[in-house]
Structure 1
Amino acid sequence: MSLEFLHIVMVGTKFAENVGSAARACANMGCPNLTLVRPVNWDEDRARSLATGTGQEVLRRMRIVETLEEAVQDMVAVYGATARGGGWRKGILTPAKAAPLIHEVMQQAEPVAILFGPEDRGLTNEETSICSRLVTIPTASEHTSLNVSQAVMVFLYECFVKSPGPVFRPAGPPESRLATHGERETLYVTLQSTLTDMDFLKGDNPDYWMLPVRRFLERTPLRRHEFNLIMGMCRQVQWLLGMKQK
């Protein structure tokens, strides 16, 4: 079993040792993809000491980028790890329930990312808002926050044991591929603008009112030809609204 299409993305990590431990976990579970977004006080030697010999290759392949958007641009699904719920953070899954959904995408040879925030605060509301789904690890008490490398290991383990077998690589036409995160973000910007112009979204906080729409659309893997269809509908609606204003 391999998690070759799973990408672990660590945002703003403050301790290089946690990166090293996460790299070791990736290697143990067959996940070769680790990305850091704006790591704080990055020290490769300290990371290597915790990666041991097992995780050295993962560290060698690891990407370091400046923006979260760059890290997830080509993903077709993005999951965010969080210890907090409520407010904007609704519909939270456990790793065990998220793993089969993640594998549905990976079985089509498409990339999936799991985001982990800094050790002291986790992911921000803005960072979780781009996620397809949110995931939390249940704990035995009110102390819900885990060490980030421990959290990485729990997620990887659940994905590993839920792996149904070899990846199916379809040879279908290009338009049948899943839409990337970058394409879906373009769609959401266009859709939000269109719904705001229609007075469907409230103008005082359109980002908040758009969130349920995003969550609804993220429940179903969006394919490229479906992306083109909805974008075309938005353009037609915007044209009609423009005609009425003349």
Structure 2
Amino acid sequence: MSGTDKSKAGLSLDGPIVILVEPQLGENIGMAARAMGNFALSALRIVNPRDGWPNIAAQRAAAGADYILDKVELFDTVGEAVADLDLLFATTARPHDQAKPVVGPEAAASEISGHVAAGGKAGILFGRERWGLTNEEVGLANRIITFPVNPGFASLNLAQAVLLVGYEWFKRATSGQLPHAMPERSERASQHQMQAFFDNLIRELDRVEFLRPAEKRDTMLVNLRNIFTRMEPTKQDMHTLHGVVMAIAEGRKGPAKGGVLDGEQATRLRALLAEHGQGGGVPDSGSTVRGLARLLRRNPTDAERLLWQALTRDRRFAGGFKRQTPVGRHIPDFVSFPHRIAIELVNAGENEAIVADRVARRAWLEARDYRVIEMRAADVERGLEAELERLQEMMSQSA
């Protein structure tokens, strides 16, 4: 798991010494050191590593636990590595038929914690990757540690074994304290605040006739209230929920609607562009006008969005049309280059400048063999299929 907080100081605890017996791969040594670092174990001894020491593969796999590898103690034999210890555990997944206590990692951690606290010196033996510890090596230990694993697949990676023991020891040494907790929340919402939100919610639900049939209204209200009371919301939660309800009630706006313009706004913007002599064309001067034209192109009205969805999803038209694409210096609302058809949407309340601009654009397109079909935005919103049939008829005439 990633996410080490570099701003926090690590713990320095007196714990057991980890002893790796004849490890074969440098990567396993490095990963074992990383597991030690996770749980504030810092003393590592290695008995006769196969690939020698130092080992670049171990450093790469340590993922920042170099401070452990830098202080590694090397020994030729297990006997030498454990000579100064007065409590020794041997980890193994196999029964060695030796008359000594067999404990799990939690019980071992408990005994180690008490032993180290009393001034003792404890160590844990971890065997070779392929075949673990010999009977003689296990015989040096006071206790055997084994893990509650699947008996049909009991073998653990070396670093995994170190991690399991380290976790239990660290949990014991720190009383299981977690490194971080949920941040402080704002104070719990009052009953008054809850009621104000709920009154607002009910008012909006009544407007859309959600609370019906009438005979189930009271039960539905109780169920709704219980949803929010179970949450134990804070004052901030209530502010957020109130905002959500009002946003839904007032209708979608901005990018959530697919655009920031309604039909009236789009009409005013088209008029502004037409009056500046830009028409539907690509503005070539004036950053403000260029920005407004770009806004018009990028933010379709409801009618534009409905028609565009039909033109892209209906098999009769799919792939044949483009939206707000330049034809010369003009930009019709929709254009089909294969069929040489342009679609112009007419919004209600258009002024003379917009009408004149559209007439000029139509003349320009028709002079270049484009056929122009005008659709009223209101007709698209009320009866889209009729407009699509009209378009299909025009397309069949050009086939």
| Shorter-chain TM band | 0.5 to 0.7
Corresponding residue of 1:21: 31
TM-score by length of 2: 0.40
**Displacement, 1:146?**
0.2
Unaligned runs of 5+ in 1: 166-246
Alignment of 1:77-116 (within 5 A): 77-88=87-98, 90-116=100-126
Q: Kindly, what percent of the aligned residue pairs are identical?
A: 33
Contact 2:17/2:123, CA 8 A, preserved across alignment: yes
**Cα distance in 2 between the residues matched to 1:135 and 1:56:** 27
Contact 1:34/1:63, CA 8 A, preserved across alignment: yes
Contact 2:100/2:142, CA 8 A, preserved across alignment: no
Q: Which has the higher contact order (CA 8 A, sep 6+)?
A: 1
Corresponding residue of 1:176: none
**Cα distance in 2 between the residues matched to 1:91 and 1:164:** 26
Aligned letter for 2:102?
I
**2:94 is aligned with 1:47:** no
Alignment of 1:109-128 (within 5 A): 109-128=119-138
Corresponding residue of 1:182: none
Q: Deviation string for 1:134-190 (max 9, x for gaps)?
A: 00011134111100111000000000001167xxxxxxxxxxxxxxxxxxxxxxxxx
Aligned letter for 1:140?
N
**Displacement, 1:80?**
0.3
Aligned letter for 1:96?
E
Corresponding residue of 1:209: none
**2:147 is aligned with 1:137:** yes
SS of the equivalent of 2:49 reads coil
- Structure 1 or 2, whichever has the larger Rg, is 2
Corresponding residue of 1:200: none
Q: Identify if the C-alpha distance between structure 1 residues 147 and 45 changes in structure 2 by more than 3 Å, giving closer, same or farther.
A: same
**Cα distance in 2 between the residues matched to 1:86 and 1:61:** 32
**Displacement, 1:115?**
0.1
**Displacement, 1:2?**
4.7
Corresponding residue of 1:161: 171
**Displacement, 1:88?**
2.1
Aligned letter for 1:72?
V
SS of the equivalent of 1:49 reads helix
Which of 19, 31, 38 matches 1:9? 19
Q: Identify if the C-alpha distance between structure 1 residues 17 and 121 changes in structure 2 by more than 3 Å, giving closer, same or farther.
A: same
Contact 2:22/2:47, CA 8 A, preserved across alignment: yes
SS of the equivalent of 1:64 reads strand
TM-score by length of 1: 0.63
Q: Please give the root-mean-square deviation of Cα atoms over the aligned residues, in Å.
A: 1.6
Contact 1:5/1:110, CA 8 A, preserved across alignment: no
Contact 1:9/1:71, CA 8 A, preserved across alignment: yes
**Displacement, 1:91?**
2.8
Contact 1:22/1:149, CA 8 A, preserved across alignment: yes
SS of the equivalent of 1:155 reads helix
Which of 64, 82, 99 matches 1:72? 82
